């Protein structure tokens, strides 16, 4: 009788024992062995461990962390202007922070034609910052876009980060004299980019660089292109360096 009673007590105790609490997702159980996975789950886990290691859910900070590098896309026709924008005033206020130079000029003559001397002066402001060489005449359509920017943002000066580049990569639109990287005083680069996009009726490249805080604008053959680049500035990249026969500019403190 005593033996039967002891067995009954053990059975009742086992049936009435509270269940062990299961750990939360991605949390390792404490003091108990984790539930054994099925054969299929084991195979999947083994494959994942062999290729990527132990996977963990990304943190909220990781999800918000910006990507590195450049991501871009071709612009389809439905996202372009149907007609060319009306002509700008032609007024420009360009500023070169490297040299503390400033220029106020109008690229048009009174009859609406281009003012050759004004375009040459603007081209001088957009000269290569590394070699101090310049394109005699930068692309007038680029200067028109810059004038649109000047008009739209309340005649704030345009800071020239980069214009013409006398560089080894000759396919660059900077080398061709039809590109400029700019900032506008008091204007977020995102707002600047969004406005410039409204001017595009085809044949423009527009990129934003959040890390360095400027917007790239160029005039090119269609199709138009957009991109965002989270890379840090690298002025010493090989393709940006002047050709060997061009002397690099000496910086004066």
User: What pLDDT does residue 249 have?
Assistant: 55
The structure tokens listed for 105 are 């000029």
Q: Do strands 179-184 and 158-162 pair parallel, antiparallel, or not at all (unpaired)?
A: antiparallel
Boundaries of domain holding 222: 72-81+88-240
* pLDDT tens digit sequence for 197-206: 999 999 999 9
8 A C-beta contact, residue 116 and residue 131: no
* pLDDT tens digit sequence for 49-69: 444 444 455 555 545 555 668
45 has pLDDT over 70 = no
In the chain, what percentage of residues exceed pLDDT 70?
65
Q: Can you tell me the mean pLDDT for 227-243? A: 74
Q: Can you tell me the mean pLDDT for 232-250? A: 62
Q: Does any domain span residue 158?
A: yes
Q: What are phi and psi of 124, to 5 degrees?
A: -65, -40
The structure tokens listed for 7 are 């067995």
Q: Does any domain span residue 106?
A: yes
Q: Give the Å distances, CA to CA, from 173 to 92, 121, 132, 221.
A: 21, 20, 17, 11
225 has pLDDT over 80 = yes
8 A C-beta contact, residue 180 and residue 126: yes
User: What pLDDT does residue 16 have?
Assistant: 42
The structure's pTM equals 0.70
Q: Does any domain span residue 22?
A: no
Q: Does any domain span residue 233?
A: yes
User: What pLDDT does residue 38 have?
Assistant: 42
**pLDDT: is 153 or 63 the higher one?**
153
Q: Does any domain span residue 55?
A: no
**Residue where the block lists tokens 């004066």:** 252
Question: Residue 105: left (phi > 0), alpha (psi -120 to 50), or beta?
Answer: beta
> Per the structure, how many domains does the chain have?
1
117 has pLDDT over 60 = yes
**pLDDT: is 64 or 240 the higher one?**
240
Instruction: Supply the CATH number for residue 228's domain.
Output: 3.30.1380
Output the average pLDDT for the chain: 79
User: What pLDDT does residue 253 have?
Assistant: 40
Q: Is 184 exposed, middle or buried, given 0-12, 13-18 or 19+ CB atoms closer than 10 A?
A: buried
Q: Can you tell me the mean pLDDT for 26-46? A: 38
């Amino acid at each position: 009788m005593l033996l039967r009673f002891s067995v009954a007590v053990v059975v009742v105790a086992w049936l009435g024992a509270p269940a062990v609490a299961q750990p939360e997702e991605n949390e390792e159980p404490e003091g108990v062995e984790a539930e054994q996975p099925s054969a299929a789950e084991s195979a999947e886990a083994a494959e994942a461990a062999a290729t990527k290691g132990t996977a963990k859910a990304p943190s909220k900070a990781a999800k918000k962390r910006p990507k590195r590098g450049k991501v871009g896309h071709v612009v389809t026709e439905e996202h372009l202007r149907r007609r060319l924008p009306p002509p700008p005033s032609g007024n420009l206020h360009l500023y070169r922070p490297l040299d503390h130079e400033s220029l106020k000029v109008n690229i048009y003559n009174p009859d609406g034609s281009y003012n050759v001397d004004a375009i040459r002066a603007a081209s001088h402001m957009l000269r290569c910052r590394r070699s101090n060489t310049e394109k005699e005449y930068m692309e007038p359509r680029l200067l028109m876009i810059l004038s649109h920017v000047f008009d739209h943002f309340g005649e704030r000066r345009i800071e020239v980060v980069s214009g013409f580049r006398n560089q080894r990569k000759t396919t660059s639109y900077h080398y061709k004299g039809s590109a400029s990287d700019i900032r506008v005083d008091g204007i977020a680069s995102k707002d600047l980019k969004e406005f410039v996009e409204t001017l595009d009726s085809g044949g423009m490249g527009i990129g934003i660089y959040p890390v360095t805080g400027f917007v790239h604008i160029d005039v090119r053959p269609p199709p138009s292109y957009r991109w965002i680049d989270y890379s840090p500035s690298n002025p010493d990249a090989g393709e940006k360096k002047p050709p060997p026969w061009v002397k690099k500019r000496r910086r004066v403190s």
